[in-house]
Structure 1
Amino acid sequence: MALRVTAAAGEHDLLFLPWEVPLEEWPESTLVALPRGISRHIVRFVKLAGAVYAVKETVEPIARHEYDLLFELGRRDVPCVDPVGIVAGRTTPEGEELPAAIITRHLQFSLPYRALFSTTLRPDTMHRLIDALAVLIVRLHLVGFVWRDCSLSNTLFRRDAGAFAAYLVDAETGELHDKLSDGQREYDLQTAEVNVAGELLDVEASGRLHPSIDPIATSHIVRQRYETLWKEVTGPVSISVGDRHALDARVRRLNDLGFDIAELSVVSEEAGDCVRVTPKVVDVGHHSRRLLRLTGLDVEENQARRLLNDLDTYRVEEALTDESEELVAHRWVAERFEPVTGVVPADLRGKLEPAEIYHEVLEHRWFMGERLKRDVTIWEAAADYVATVLVDKPDEKAVLGQRLGTPSDTMGVRFEETTEMDLSELDLP
């Protein structure tokens, strides 16, 4: 049986991985030691040409279904891992058939929920993870995606200005529709409650759950957070005729949640003195897209909100209120963002991504000012933050692998023999 490979353009090096060997037997020299979530499949991480990929064994129809779904979700700007390729027709040198594999690009600075606490999962961390999961489910439902396997284990988390941003990892059970029914949404919520309860009970059994956290009660918070957000995003609201303030407040609340408004549907009520306003939400990312347009910085939503606030403060402090927003943003990047993040020594840059470092410097500056009872410059705060806080943080640029004690200079890939493959089967979209 010829090896059949579907790969994105520029990913040809993946052809030369040891596909003739079962994934759980791949040599250590091929693998990267990264924290993995719980999975029903064998999953391994490999490093090629400076990039890290996740390889999951499964059956070919499921691999192709998941690959297509991830590609479509990415096209719709839903947070998920990037699909890279599918490998099918695998056999051992003795001719034994092996499972197909789907390859995704590892999301830098992301971690499974179990890796976000080293000793005890505390309530504040747990609630932030639940909030991030609820936001992800809402975003998926808005584009018509029913997940059918909502869980913390099927999600990766990235730090986002003190909160977390959630990314879908496993889409093999999902389906895309034009619009979801209430029953489909309810099924996802019930699944999320059951899975989160089971995951937290497992953490509790390991002795790593804070005693104040009730696994069952906490699992119900997923539904509460989801329903509150779903109502805010999709539900109509009655507003008195001419009450512009109430209408503006509704739009601002949605923007603060990270959602943009495509249009507002307004219908007069029978009494004649009120109108019902229904927002039509097109996507999330109001702040991150604005920051990207102004500065070219592509960051998470909460990070973008914090950086935009600092940009506005900088504009006032430097008396640039008469300058265009674009010009001020250019100066802020050159005079604030890049110099502050540039303070971090090269050997510490794997700790956090630059936007999160900048956010934490701003937080550190505020706490320093409170402690010292005086104004603290951002340069003082940056230097003190690097010396007293950042140096003790674990690496979250997981591509380095050093947080788990794996030397980065030993993660090369060894090729001892190659599988005979039919290159005519290579499909490069």
Structure 2
Amino acid sequence: MALRISATNPEHPALLLDLPWQLPLEEWPEHHLVPLPRGISRHVVRYARAGAEVVAVKELAERPAVREFELLRDLDRLGIPAVDALAVVTGRTGPGGESLEPVLITRHLGGSMPYRSMFETTLRPATMHRLMDALAVLLVRLHLAGFAWGDCSLSNTLFRRDAGAYAAYLVDAETGELHARLSTGQREYDLDLARVNISGELLDLEASGALHPSVDPITFGTEICDRYSGLWQELTRTSVYPAGKYHYIDRRIRRLNDLGFDVAEMQIARSSSGDTVTFVPKVVDAGHHQRQLLRLAGLDAEENQARRLLNDLESWMATQEDYVPGDPLAARPEVLAHRWVRDVFRPTVRAVPRELRGSMDPAELYHELLEHRWYLSERAQHDIGLDTAVRDYITTVLPKARATPADPHDEDDPLPPRV
């Protein structure tokens, strides 16, 4: 059989031809390889350079290679975080004419790390919690798409940190199955496998001395079940909101925040019965919201204020006709954020007389107005709108704030100079 390269891009076969396919993967010369950390695998895996790209090459039988190739392409079409399938190479023969195993080629995920490499320096428990959250997000997204993983584990996952956000990517789809919809039993089976696999992997790390002494492997293995269950319930609970009842949407976002997740993307679908909202969660690191708000809108705020303002920005963007997440032809988030600052943020802040604002900066004031709107909307059981909230804030909140006497110790006991 002649060498055959089945690729997703017509340019890839020419780039891949330069690799030494006549040699078993274990014998590839060093000048073809890229020294990147590898996780544990049932198969021989190597990182190699193909033109300007770094690819992962995995040896396995032809049928599972082709099957995994197709599954990874399906996941890509569904927008699920997974490695990109580039090609399957079959018909390999050695120098003596002996048959060699086919290989599956995927694109190396830049900036990603296998979990064992991350534990080479002992991870703090707080970071481990975020990684488990990221894996729970991945598993929920896979299940929502109808994908039964069949072998969820840390070993079959790559983790990437980007601008304060943590994301988990599926790296091994060999045991997976794609269905129109998963049953409760299929989901629970995947979840139970994840619990057992993760506990076992953490026990191995504990035995090698690479696990933080305060971490209990069994407890951490169980944690993904708890995080998954709370996230699944919040994301799959069907709600249709009356048009314009944005405080209901705000309530859902707050519940996701309370679970420890942020809203990475939100879509509002219009129907005759109301608005149906879809959320995509993500896991973020400390200070992420400050950096994101400053980058998008040029506003500097404290972390909790920034999260609140970003939630409002995300809700507003989802209502704009020229915003379609993932569409390269749609308005970019930076453009929409500029419009939000111009048409929503600044007019709202300017509606509050300057002499009544006191020492509050614009970001803090807008945060206070959003909180007041939330409080009034919850009390009224309908969205009162931002204009009404501003008028009520001016007449009921600011007079009380101005009437509050200053702390008598402020002048007697000044703060020490900043060093």
**Class of the TM-score when normalised by the shorter of the 2 chains:** 0.5 to 0.7
Partner of 1:386: none
**C-alpha deviation, 1:162, in angstroms:** 3.5
What is the CA deviation profile of residues 28-73 of structure 1, one whole-angstrom value per residue up to 9, with x for unaligned ones?
Answer: 1111111001100000000122211000000111111111111111
Report the Cα distance in structure 1 between the residues aligned to 2:90 and 2:21, rounded to whole angstroms.
Answer: 9
Alignment root-mean-square deviation, CA: 3.6
Percent of matched pairs sharing the same residue: 53
Structure 1 length-normalised TM: 0.64
What is the CA deviation profile of residues 71-112 of structure 1, one whole-angstrom value per residue up to 9, with x for unaligned ones?
Answer: 111112111111110001111121211111000000111111
Partner of 1:351: none
Report the Cα distance in structure 2 between the residues aligned to 1:231 and 1:215, rounded to whole angstroms.
Answer: 25
Partner of 2:45: 43
Secondary structure of 1:226's match? Answer: helix
Partner of 2:181: 179
Report the Cα distance in structure 2 between the residues aligned to 1:102 and 1:140, rounded to whole angstroms.
Answer: 21
Kindly provide the amino acid, as one letter, of the partner of residue 121 in structure 2: T
8 Å contact 2:166–2:285 — kept in the other structure? Answer: no
Report the Cα distance in structure 2 between the residues aligned to 1:236 and 1:133, rounded to whole angstroms.
Answer: 23
Report the Cα distance in structure 1 between the residues aligned to 2:296 and 2:53, rounded to whole angstroms.
Answer: 36
**C-alpha deviation, 1:260, in angstroms:** 2.2
Partner of 1:53: 55
1:258 aligns with 2:264: yes
8 Å contact 1:285–1:301 — kept in the other structure? Answer: no
State which of 269, 277, 284 in structure 1 corresponds to 2:280: 284
Report the Cα distance in structure 1 between the residues aligned to 2:86 and 2:285, rounded to whole angstroms.
Answer: 25
Any gaps of 5 or more consecutive residues in structure 2?
302-332, 342-416
Secondary structure of 1:309's match? Answer: helix
Report the Cα distance in structure 1 between the residues aligned to 2:110 and 2:238, rounded to whole angstroms.
Answer: 38
Secondary structure of 1:16's match? Answer: coil
Partner of 1:208: 210
What is the CA deviation profile of residues 173-197 of structure 1, one whole-angstrom value per residue up to 9, with x for unaligned ones?
Answer: 1111111110111111011001101
Secondary structure of 1:257's match? Answer: strand
Partner of 1:309: 293
8 Å contact 1:156–1:166 — kept in the other structure? Answer: yes
**CA shift in 2, pair 1:116/1:225, >3 Å:** same
Partner of 2:147: 145
State which of 79, 82, 86 in structure 2 corresponds to 1:80: 82
Partner of 1:105: 107
**C-alpha deviation, 1:253, in angstroms:** 4.9
Partner of 2:10: 9
Report the Cα distance in structure 1 between the residues aligned to 2:177 and 2:5, rounded to whole angstroms.
Answer: 24
**C-alpha deviation, 1:116, in angstroms:** 1.6
**C-alpha deviation, 1:248, in angstroms:** 3.3
Kindly provide the amino acid, as one letter, of the partner of residue 51 in structure 2: A
Partner of 1:341: none
**C-alpha deviation, 1:18, in angstroms:** 1.0
State which of 168, 171, 192 in structure 2 corresponds to 1:169: 171
**CA shift in 2, pair 1:246/1:56, >3 Å:** same
Report the Cα distance in structure 2 between the residues aligned to 1:17 and 1:173, rounded to whole angstroms.
Answer: 28
**C-alpha deviation, 1:246, in angstroms:** 3.6
8 Å contact 1:160–1:301 — kept in the other structure? Answer: no
**C-alpha deviation, 1:249, in angstroms:** 1.7
8 Å contact 1:128–1:163 — kept in the other structure? Answer: no
**CA shift in 2, pair 1:303/1:169, >3 Å:** farther
8 Å contact 2:239–2:277 — kept in the other structure? Answer: no
**C-alpha deviation, 1:262, in angstroms:** 4.2
Matched ranges for 1:17-416 at <5 A: 17-236=19-238, 245-251=247-253, 253=255, 256-263=262-269, 281=278, 284=280, 306-311=290-295, 314-315=298-299, 326=335, 373=418
Report the Cα distance in structure 1 between the residues aligned to 2:46 and 2:299, rounded to whole angstroms.
Answer: 47
Structure 2 length-normalised TM: 0.65
**C-alpha deviation, 1:129, in angstroms:** 1.0
Any gaps of 5 or more consecutive residues in structure 1?
268-276, 288-299, 318-323, 333-371, 375-429
Report the Cα distance in structure 2 between the residues aligned to 1:48 and 1:237, rounded to whole angstroms.
Answer: 48
Kindly provide the amino acid, as one letter, of the partner of residue 167 in structure 2: A
8 Å contact 1:286–1:301 — kept in the other structure? Answer: no
**C-alpha deviation, 1:244, in angstroms:** 5.9
8 Å contact 1:234–1:280 — kept in the other structure? Answer: no
Report the Cα distance in structure 2 between the residues aligned to 1:327 and 1:72, rounded to whole angstroms.
Answer: 31
Kindly provide the amino acid, as one letter, of the partner of residue 215 in structure 1: P
Report the Cα distance in structure 2 between the residues aligned to 1:129 and 1:186, rounded to whole angstroms.
Answer: 21
8 Å contact 1:80–1:167 — kept in the other structure? Answer: yes
Secondary structure of 1:258's match? Answer: strand
**CA shift in 2, pair 1:68/1:305, >3 Å:** farther
> How many aligned positions are there?
306
